[in-house]
């Protein structure tokens, strides 16, 4: 059964709403039949009370590297930008020191919401306005899993999964969208750059990013203001305020809720709120880190003050590794990968290994673990926790980490991960080994870049192999002495290729390679 659009009324006609009350083991079930544009789907949901269904709040930071937070040992106060609230969150829950994402904003967000490699959804590269990448109607998002179990759902902040109608949050399982950033914070810089290039003001006006809001009963979003450099300083406070408001409202409703908070910090340009500028000794970037910490605290305080802390799962993550320079505001200091090598846009350890933590006072004991967990794993894990069914008509790359998170199993259910670029396998992580079919090379210039400004180079018919446990900076290619690793590597890639026979990927999107 295709679960898509079971609980949302789209522009198509409402076929039927059929209330059926049946007594089955003391449970009342509601069956809702609704016609969508192409299909008609039916689902049953239990009317069990909210007490046995935890609330879930996912906070996703933007471009936060492994070396930016105090709790990860090489950031925070050590770099002049203390992060006490996030550090406290890590100490009160399960802090993951080997948590992996995908190489950029869009791929990670797609992986989080679908439980699939972004390549399978055609979202393997960062969405830029004017390109065809967009989240398809056929994807079954995490928000839709929550809807299937009677949850209220909302998103605040950054989306970055497409601007087509089918791709909007309100058509992907979310009831509400507030302080909406559909694209990315890059757009705040475009007008200045275009102006310096002599572009007419009429054209420049069209380039502004915008802030969007949903309206009750409407299936389109409303543009509420430009997202420009002036508002850049205020948006994080508004994201926090909208999140706090939603938490307070839902706590009074006595209905379980799923809230997805897409922070805009610490993405460039680093422009903190005026009240927080100068608070760090690490420049504007450090101020932005400290503001993100403060805003995170506001959301955590709202959960506690609402009296729902024990039964609320809080997941705090970064979407990708660091942007190591903040040149847009003449600030040399940027985000840091900590002891690793890499930055946003590449597939090196430091691009993919980022902060990640999960807190659930009623169920998860405080701990720190170096077991491998990936962004894709939250999809099947929360589905199992709330009793939702994971789709079986597509490949799901996430694994259920419930027993590991809850302390029933000391080992993670994952030991490998594939990373893609332009439709290709760009890296494979197996246990403590990282393998690259093509090596990543720094760009020329000062500063040189490994990420979106870097290169990938062909080798001599063998991939590069690095032992991350002994060589976190990936400075010694061990292909000549550890070629036995190629056996597991080929098995992992082979199993993925085998899955494509049943579930083929859509054509890969590239801005540099074009079909003949």
What is the architecture, at CATH level 2, of domain 417-502? 2-Layer Sandwich (3.30)
Give mean pLDDT, residues 5-18. 37
Mean pLDDT of 413-429: 96
As a whole-number percent, the residues of the chain with pLDDT over 70 amount to 88
At 95-150, the pLDDT tens digits run 999 999 999 999 999 999 999 999 999 999 888 777 778 999 999 999 999 999 99
Mean pLDDT value of segment 178-200: 84
pLDDT, residue 48, reads 34
Q: Which fold has domain 50-416?
A: Alkaline Phosphatase, subunit A (3.40.720)
- pLDDT recorded at residue 443: 81
Q: What is the pLDDT of residue 4?
A: 56
- Average pLDDT, stretch 336-343? 94
Interval 245-266 mean pLDDT: 96
Q: What are the phi and psi torsion angles at 373 (to 5°)?
A: -135, 145
Nearest to 360 by CA among 319, 398, 405, 404: 405
Residue 504: pLDDT over 60: yes
Alpha carbon 216 to chain centroid, angstroms: 26
**What would the mean pLDDT of 258-271 be, rounded to a whole number?**
95
**Each residue of 429-453: pLDDT tens digit?**
999 999 999 988 888 777 777 788 7
Q: What is the pLDDT of residue 22?
A: 34
User: Does residue 127 sit in helix, strand or coil?
Assistant: coil
- Work out the average pLDDT over 17-30: 33
The DSSP bridge pattern shows strands 464-467 and 433-436 to be: antiparallel
How confident is residue 422, by pLDDT bands cut at 50, 70 and 90?
confident
pLDDT > 80? residue 401: yes
User: With 80 as the cut, is the pLDDT of residue 190 above it?
Assistant: no
Helix and strand element counts for the chain (H, E): 12, 19
Pick from 23-32, 181-190, 387-396 the range whose average pLDDT is largest.
387-396
The distance between the two most distant Cα atoms of the chain, rounded to a whole number of Å, is 71
Q: How many CB atoms lie within 10 A of CB 128?
A: 13
pLDDT of res. 47: 31
User: For residues 343 and 352, what is the distance between their CA atoms, to the nearest angstrom?
Assistant: 8
pLDDT of residue 329: 46
Please tell me the predicted confidence (pLDDT) of residue 184.
86
Give residue 516's pLDDT: 67
Cβ atoms of 396 and 116 within 8 Å: the answer is yes
Per-residue model confidence (pLDDT) at position 449: 77
Between 1 and 103, the more confident residue is 103
Residue reference for tokens 């990315």: 184
Confidence of residue 29 (pLDDT cuts 50, 70, 90): very low
Q: Convert the pLDDT of each residue in 345-383 to its tens digit.
A: 999 999 999 999 999 999 999 999 999 999 999 999 999
The pLDDT of residue 326 is 63
Q: What does the DSSP assignment read for 299-310? A: HHHHHHHTT-ST
pLDDT recorded at residue 32:
30
Residue 179: CB partners within 8 Å, gap ≥ 6?
Answer: 156, 157, 211, 213, 235, 238, 239, 242
pTM > 0.75: yes
**Token output for 482:** 């550890």
| Domain limits, the chain | 1-47, 50-416, 417-502
Cα separation, 151 vs 10, whole angstroms:
19
Bridge partners of residue 57, in order along the sequence:
259, 314
Comparing CA positions, the residue from 332, 365, 340 lying closest to residue 427 is 340
Average pLDDT, the chain: 87
Query: How sure is the predictor about 420, in pLDDT bands with cuts at 50, 70 and 90?
Result: very high
> What is the Cα–Cα distance from 163 to 175, expressed in whole angstroms?
17
Q: Is the pLDDT of residue 165 over 80?
A: yes
């Amino acid at each position: 059964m295709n679960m898509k659009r079971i609980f949302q009324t789209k522009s198509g006609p409402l076929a039927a709403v059929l209330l059926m009350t049946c007594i089955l083991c003391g449970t009342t079930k509601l069956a809702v039949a609704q016609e969508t544009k192409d299909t008609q789907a039916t689902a049953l949901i239990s009317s069990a009370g909210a007490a046995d269904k935890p609330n879930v709040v996912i906070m996703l930071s933007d471009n936060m590297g492994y070396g930016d937070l105090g709790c990860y040992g090489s950031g925070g106060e050590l770099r002049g930008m203390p992060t006490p609230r996030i550090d406290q969150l890590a100490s009160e829950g399960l802090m993951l020191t080997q948590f992996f994402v995908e190489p950029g904003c869009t791929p990670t967000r797609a992986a989080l919401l679908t439980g699939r490699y972004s390549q399978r959804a055609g979202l393997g590269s960062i969405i830029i306005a004017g390109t065809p990448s967009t989240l398809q109607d056929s994807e079954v998002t995490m928000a839709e899993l929550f809807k299937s179990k009677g949850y209220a759902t909302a998103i605040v902040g950054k989306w970055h999964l497409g601007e087509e109608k089918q791709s909007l949050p309100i058509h992907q399982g979310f009831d509400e969208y507030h302080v909406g950033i559909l694209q990315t914070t890059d757009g705040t810089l475009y007008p200045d750059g275009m102006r310096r290039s002599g572009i007419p003001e009429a054209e420049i006006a069209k380039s502004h990013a915008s802030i969007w809001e949903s309206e009750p009963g409407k299936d389109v979003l409303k543009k509420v203001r430009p997202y420009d450099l002036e508002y850049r300083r205020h948006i994080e406070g508004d994201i926090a305020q909208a999140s706090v408001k939603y938490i307070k409202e839902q706590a009074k409703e006595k209905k379980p809720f799923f809230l997805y908070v897409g922070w805009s910090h610490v993405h460039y340009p680093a422009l903190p709120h005026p009240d927080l500028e100068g608070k760090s000794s690490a420049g504007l970037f450090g101020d932005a880190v400290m503001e993100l910490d403060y805003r995170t605290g506001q959301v955590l305080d709202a959960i506690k003050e609402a009296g729902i802390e024990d039964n609320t799962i809080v997941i705090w993550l970064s979407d990708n590794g660091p942007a190591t320079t903040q040149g847009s505001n003449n600030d040399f200091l940027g985000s840091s990968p900590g002891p690793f090598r890499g930055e946003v846009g590449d597939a090196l350890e430091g691009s993919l290994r980022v902060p990640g933590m999960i807190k659930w006072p009623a169920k998860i004991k405080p701990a720190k673990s170096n077991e491998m967990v990936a962004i894709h794993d939250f999809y099947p894990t929360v589905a199992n926790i709330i009793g939702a069914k994971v789709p079986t008509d597509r490949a799901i790359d996430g694994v259920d980490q419930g027993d590991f998170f809850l302390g029933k199993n000391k080992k993670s259910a994952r030991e490998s991960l594939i990373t893609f670029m332009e439709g290709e396998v760009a890296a494979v992580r197996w246990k403590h080994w990282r393998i690259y079919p093509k090596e990543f090379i720094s760009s020329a210039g000062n500063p040189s870049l490994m990420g979106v400004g870097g290169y990938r180079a062909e080798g001599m018919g063998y991939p590069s192999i690095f032992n991350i446990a002994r060589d976190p900076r990936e400075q010694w290619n061990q292909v000549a002495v550890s070629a036995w690793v190629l056996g597991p590597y080929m098995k992992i890639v082979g199993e993925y290729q085998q899955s494509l026979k049943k579930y083929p990927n859509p054509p890969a999107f590239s801005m540099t390679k074009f079909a003949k």
